[in-house]
Amino acid sequence: MSWELHNVAIIGGGMMGRSIATKVAQEGLNVCLKEISAEAVEASRAELEKSLDHAIARYDLTNSEKKAILSRIRWVTQFDCAADCDIAIETVQEDFGVKRRILRELDRRMVEDHPIVINTSTLSITELAAQNSCPERIVGMHFLYPVTTTRVVEVVRGQLTTDEVYNRAVEFGRILGKVPIKVFEMPGFVTTRVIMPLINEAMHTVMEGVAEAAEVDLAIKLGFNFTMGPLEWADRTGLDRVLNWMKHLHSESGEPRFRPCPMLKRLVRAGLHGAKTGQGFFTYDANRRRIDRLPDDKPRLA
Amino acid sequence: MKILVLNSGSSSVKFQVIDTDLERMKAHQDNTLATGLVEKIGLSDSRLVLKVPDRKAYTDYREILEHRAAIEWVLRILSDPEVGILDEVTDVGAVGHRVVHGGEAFASSVLITPEVIQQIEECSVLAPLHNPPNLRGYYAAHAALPDVPHIAVFDTAYHQTMPPHAFLYGIPFQLYTKHALRRYGFHGTSHRYVAFRGSQILGWERQEHKLITVHLGNGCSTAAIDHGKSIDTSMGFTPLEGLLMGTRTGDMDPAVVPWLMAMEEMTLHQVNTMMNKHSGLYGISGVSSDMRELVEARAGGHQRADVAFRMFCYRVKKYIGSYAAAMGGVDAVFFTGGIGENSPEVREWALSGLEYMGIEIDRQINDGLHGGEGEISTDDSRVKVLVVPTNEELIIARDVVRVLNGIMPTWEPPETVTP
């Protein structure tokens, strides 16, 4: 049966849902974005507009592109919109029970062979799918934030995912201008699994007093041509989320390299979650600009 | 023969139906039967507008998700017994497609064959935003009209006569041979039409004169046409080079790019968007990319609008001077495009102080000319200055006839450079 991609359902208007919605709309597809209530819709819409304005100020976007993007996104509070969609993506919190419930709602409404995408960096696609009447149409896609600019998406095959559904997810990734990395289901896939020990090791290096956090970060940033160091990356991602991922990777794999650094736990317990709270390993202003850069950490030409 | 002319963008298709053939061309009796467009392709409220001379414009809305549905809609409306102009869809004898980039492969218009499609696809790396939708329009039209010839007319073809000393960049030669990285120029069909039509108005043989054509629209470019051949044009590898435009920088020291990327920590995408969409008249004035609004704003004392206006005109003047130098003189300057046709202010400013070159404007005539053809130079002016509304669709339709009759001229590059 032929499958054409025009309409995309996104469940959850949080940071990830908005970022995916923006990218999908930017590529000319129509989005229906589901939130839980009218208030949540308003909050999500306001945040999305704010991020579009920020993108305009950074020359990533123009005013007319903003208009076009907003015109392609329809906010809803019910799951019914999924019935007309060619693919659906859930982007709710990394919680097995919540995701499972959403998959059921989507499964009941969507055309039989239209893919349902789980956006997760750590949960098991197979286990989530197994609870479903049509597990073979469930596939994982791990988008990296911000979805509008990162060039990669991990496409995750569950045990029961059909080739057809899997290939549609790969094609969807390509339509979004991303390089799809084909991965089999294992905790953390490629990106999270490889980056977490690096972050953890950076934290241990600080904790052991080898160097100050800012110097550890700068060494890695300049030494390996990263756009930012691992600690700033963790701050910007949210230390609470980083801790959750690490705990999950640790419990799933049992590997000590994923055991969260005590320093990370301490910061999270203290409510210092990184850029969004103004303080993590480093200090940020209300616009999430880092305000404690070292004098050597400055732009230069060559 | 009724020819369908298509200009397919990423979310729009512009179309015209032109009735012409060799006899009509000779007698200048090409007849435009209808013009129109489908816009907002991919959305639920796509709009079709059809304009037929002496009739009220027809507008309709429906969900059109891709080009094929758009072209089918156009053909259905064109052959509609009430609003259409064709008895049947099969009345369309041929289709002419505007294709932005023909690279070095195409120095003239061609019949579209599988090999030509292959070559156009290869040119997509040079025009990633334009060639793919042009091709999508072709595929859609070919599916709807499989039995008629389809002809491609390239924006770059006319400038293929530029000599290497004009089309090369001063970068290592290997980069030219490896990537075909060179200046191509755009708006070729418009410059070609304007050179033809302007000469016709003056009763000149194009091959005997030195012309400067100035296309000032959303995008702006100017060309030096020496005895019928484009020997230089202001746009280059992409449509970013040259004149200041609505939202594009035009000429700029390329060192600005790495500097901004380093010091402002801008990404490639950001710097690209900044130069193409946030710059030019809009970026300087902060008011608008629309010349009419700028002219109003500067009349109201808006300083940045005023400097944007001056920058715009100054660049046009510099190019006119340089092209006169390149050709060893100039016999006529032809203005076209939305701004060129409608802004007496821009024409006056751009040509001011060029009396020493023999360019003299009749201010009264110039001020009175908004749209429409006309001569704006004084009777004594050594250089003739004309306003010539462009008509790319006519050139495309005529090229269809030329290709089908085997009389399409080509513009081969005058000399080759061996590595």
pLDDT-derived band of residue B173, with 50, 70 and 90 as boundaries?
very high
In Å, how far is B296's CA from the nearest CA of chain A?
A: 22
Between CA B346 and CA B332, with CA B207 as vertex, the angle to 5 degrees is 20
Percent of the residues in chain B that have a pLDDT greater than 70, as a whole number: 98
Are A234 and A135 part of one and the same domain? no
Q: Is residue A126 part of a domain?
A: yes
- Name which of B10, B43, B290 to mutate to probe chain A: the one with the most chain A Cβ atoms within 10 A of its Cβ: B43
Are B104 and B221 part of one and the same domain? no
Q: Is residue B188 part of a domain?
A: no
Contacts of B11 in chain A (CB under 8 A): 28
In this structure, what token pair is assigned to residue B182?
A: 């060179």
- Contact B11/A at CB under 8 A: yes
For position B52, what pLDDT does the model report?
Answer: 95
Are B210 and B304 part of one and the same domain? yes
- The domain tally of chain B equals 2
Are B236 and B320 part of one and the same domain? yes
Are A132 and A252 part of one and the same domain? no
Q: Is residue B147 part of a domain?
A: yes
CA of B153: how far to CAs of B132, B145, B146, B186, in Å?
Answer: 15, 18, 19, 12
Chain A residues with at least one Cβ partner in B under 8 Å: 4, 6, 28-30, 58-62, 71-72, 149, 299-302
For position A123, what pLDDT does the model report?
Answer: 83
Are A49 and A153 part of one and the same domain? yes
Of residues B151 and A93, more confidently modeled: B151
CA of B395: how far to CAs of B11, B21, B110, B196, B408, in Å?
Answer: 24, 12, 13, 10, 11
Contact A299 B263 (CB under 8 A): yes
CATH value at residue A249: 1.10.1040.50
Are B265 and B375 part of one and the same domain? yes
Contact A60 B269 (CB under 8 A): yes
Flag whether the pTM goes above 0.80.
yes
CATH value at residue B12: 3.30.420.40
Tens-digit pLDDT profile for residues A25-69? 999 899 999 999 999 999 999 999 999 999 999 999 998 889 989
Contact A301 B10 (CB under 8 A): no
Contact A149 B274 (CB under 8 A): no
Are A167 and A200 part of one and the same domain? no
Tens-digit pLDDT profile for residues A206-250? 999 999 999 999 999 999 999 899 999 999 999 999 999 999 999
- The domain tally of chain A equals 2
Q: Is residue A14 part of a domain?
A: yes
Contact A58 B43 (CB under 8 A): no
- Name which of B67, B267, B268, B279 to mutate to probe chain A: the one with the most chain A Cβ atoms within 10 A of its Cβ: B267
Are B80 and B223 part of one and the same domain? no
Buried b (16+ CB within 10 A) or exposed e, A224-247: eeeebbbbbbbbbbbbbbbbbbbb
Contacts of A71 in chain B (CB under 8 A): 43
Contacts of B271 in chain A (CB under 8 A): 59
Contact B263 A6 (CB under 8 A): no
Contact B271 A59 (CB under 8 A): yes
- Name which of A59, A178, A300, A301 to mutate to probe chain B: the one with the most chain B Cβ atoms within 10 A of its Cβ: A59
Are B246 and B376 part of one and the same domain? yes
> Closest to A6 (Cβ–Cβ): which among B65, B265, B269?
B65
Closest-CA residue to A116 (of A143, A85, A92, A94): A85
The residue from B155, B226, B232, B306 that is catalytic is: B155
**Residues paired with A179 in a beta bridge:** A152
Are A127 and A179 part of one and the same domain? yes
Are A172 and A227 part of one and the same domain? no
ipTM score above 0.95: no
Label residue B23 exposed, middle or buried (CB < 10 Å: 0-12, 13-18, 19+).
Answer: exposed
Contacts of B262 in chain A (CB under 8 A): 299-302
- Contact B269/A at CB under 8 A: yes
Are B132 and B259 part of one and the same domain? no
Last residue of a domain, one of A139, A167, A184: A184
Domain, as residue range, for B292: 205-388
Are B236 and B329 part of one and the same domain? yes
Are A145 and A245 part of one and the same domain? no
Are B97 and B213 part of one and the same domain? no
Contact A59 B266 (CB under 8 A): yes
Are B217 and B142 part of one and the same domain? no
Outline where DSSP puts E strands in A111-201.
116-118, 138-143, 152-157, 179-184
In Å, how far is A61's CA from the nearest CA of chain B?
A: 7
Q: Is residue A293 part of a domain?
A: no
For position B416, what pLDDT does the model report?
Answer: 67
Q: What is the side-by-side strand order in the sheet with B31-39?
A: B58-64, B43-51, B31-39, B12-19, B2-8, B92-99, B150-154, B110-111
Rg (CA), chain B: 22
Are A206 and A273 part of one and the same domain? yes
Are A173 and A46 part of one and the same domain? yes
Contacts of A22 in chain B (CB under 8 A): none
Q: Is residue A226 part of a domain?
A: yes
The rounded distance, in Å, linking the Cα atoms of A133 and A118 is 15
Closest-CA residue to A250 (of A141, A122, A93, A156): A122
Are A223 and A161 part of one and the same domain? no
CB A288 within 8 A of CB A301: no
Outline where DSSP puts E strands in B186-245.
210-216, 220-226, 229-233
Tens-digit pLDDT profile for residues B73-126? 999 999 999 999 999 999 999 999 999 999 999 999 999 999 999 999 999 888
CATH value at residue A75: 3.40.50.720
Contact A71 B43 (CB under 8 A): yes
CB B315 within 8 A of CB B244: yes
Contacts of A299 in chain B (CB under 8 A): 262-265
The rounded distance, in Å, linking the Cα atoms of A120 and A141 is 7
Are A162 and A199 part of one and the same domain? no
Contact A60 B265 (CB under 8 A): no
Task: Indicate the helix (H) or strand (E) that contains B13.
Answer: strand B12-19
Are A56 and A198 part of one and the same domain? no
Q: Is residue A232 part of a domain?
A: yes
B155 is catalytic: yes
Domain, as residue range, for A19: 7-184
Tens-digit pLDDT profile for residues B217-237? 989 999 999 999 999 999 999
In this structure, what token pair is assigned to residue A242?
A: 């980083």
In Å, how far is B208's CA from the nearest CA of chain A?
A: 45
